[in-house]
Amino acid sequence: MNRILSALCVSLTLGSPLSAADRWSAPSKAQIDAVYPQVESLYMELHRSPELSLHEQKTAATIADQLRRLRFDVITGVGGTGVVGVLKNGEGPTVMIRAELDALPVLEETDLPYASHVTTKDDSGADVPVMHACGHDLHMAIGIGTATLLAQNKDRWRGTFIYVGQPAEERGLGAAAMLKDGLWTRLPRPDFAIAVHDTSDLPAGKVSYTPGYALANVSSVDVTIFGRGGHGAVPEETVDPIVIAARTILAWQTIISRENSPFDPGVITVGSIHGGTKHNIIPDQVHMQLTVRSYKDDVHKHLLDAIARIAKAEAEAAGAPKLPLVEVSETVRSVYNDPVLTQRIAGVLKQALGDANVMQAPPEMAGDDFAEYGQAGVPSLLFSVGAVNPAKFEAAKKIGEPLPGPHSPFFAPDRVPSLYTGIEAETTAVLELLGKK
């Protein structure tokens, strides 16, 4: 924590081509200290009161209220429950930050004094617990910290700053819904889009960035294999869909090993298979659920086409009475961090936090619909903020023990340094793009 507080004293050099006399710095440690209590209080309030995707009414109202207090122009109900705040400050670039509103159907087991005890009904009507298990509460609070500092320091920048509170990231629906609802036609189209995401792969106080492909295309695929059921004692009178499914699963793996270039990563995982009810009954059908991941769009299309082709071929080879049903859903496109923007922001983050605390990270096969903003043609960057207590991180590293990460019921960001570093890093990034002579 001492490192973080001392680092906040460091002046942030913006616009490296400018002379020393022309450079503009980010808000001081004292200014960040002044807004921190408000940000921390908001974070804990959001953590206590999570809401599921597409149902973020109270969360959106809370964010809208925060932005109105800062004298932002606020629009609600964008793409469902999305909320947007716009702060105009003369001529200059338009910079957008994205923060996610939604939480997960996870039972929190952190024992935090501000832990969630919320339960609700999901879209199927089932009672489910709800938890901010992915750090979206952290992202929202960091964004409000950044918005507050920009509102308080309008002499340091020129242009338009946009806070986007996006719904339904966990279902990959929110970004596309906001764009379809006119996010960039009803509001200024940004010149740059920035987002932060917490990670358990780094201790609090450090950040990481990935130029180019950072996160993957992700699709959920449901495959139903049809057979002809019967008694397990007379298999010759049946067409066994379990055997067809087994052959299909093995054949799918050759898509990666024999049809795809090893230089273009791809993943096909069968995460669920269900068929049959009893030892001696051959069922009529088997249902499988797959996750399919890649970076490049053409690779992703090939993986999906090949899954359907092989499923059909295996069914025909077995004499199945009906071709399989293959359904693709919940597709999220790959996050591509604009390389020029990424290196630009990485440079000022290193000046702010120190070279040792800013590092390049390899791409991951996780997904995030922040991709939609970049895919729509806006130079974008999603970078990571460490969220693990540094002492716990080092202890776990020494013994090789995995730490709870996003989507775990035990995931609890180290609140103070994670918020401080997130505010400093995001504000630094935005001021680099909006800073003026």
Per the CB < 8 A criterion, the answer to whether 215 and 382 are in contact is yes
Per the CB < 8 A criterion, the answer to whether 382 and 197 are in contact is yes
Per the CB < 8 A criterion, the answer to whether 419 and 331 are in contact is no
Question: What would the two tokens of residue 158 be?
Answer: 């020129």
The one-letter amino acid at 153: N
φ, ψ (nearest 5 deg) of residue 311? -60, -40
Judged on CB neighbours under 10 Å (0-12, 13-18, 19+), 216 is buried
Neighbours of 289 (CB within 10 A): 14
The active-site residue, picked from 51, 100, 137, 169, is 169
Residue of 153, 223, 243, 216 whose CA lies nearest to 368 = 216
Query: How far is Cα 39 from Cα 56, in angstroms, rounded to an integer?
Result: 19
Contacts of 235 (CB under 8 A, 6+ apart): 282
Query: How far is Cα 97 from Cα 151, in angstroms, rounded to an integer?
Result: 14
The active-site residue, picked from 51, 56, 102, 338, is 102
Active site residue 240: no
Segment (H or E) for 76: strand 73-78
Q: Which residues pair with 194 in a beta bridge?
A: 97, 381
Active site residue 191: no
Neighbours of 202 (CB within 10 A): 21
Residue of 5, 54, 57, 291 whose CA lies nearest to 167 = 54
Long-range contact pairs involving 267-271 (C-beta distance under 8 Å, separation at least 24):
267/216, 267/291, 267/292, 267/293, 267/294, 267/365, 268/292, 268/303, 268/307
Query: How far is Cα 437 from Cα 434, in angstroms, rounded to an integer?
Result: 10
φ, ψ (nearest 5 deg) of residue 289? -120, 130
Contacts of 125 (CB under 8 A, 6+ apart): none
Query: How far is Cα 402 from Cα 383, in angstroms, rounded to an integer?
Result: 22
Find how far residue 198's CA is from the centre of its chain: 9
Per the CB < 8 A criterion, the answer to whether 227 and 238 are in contact is yes
Give the catalytic positions in this structure. 102, 169
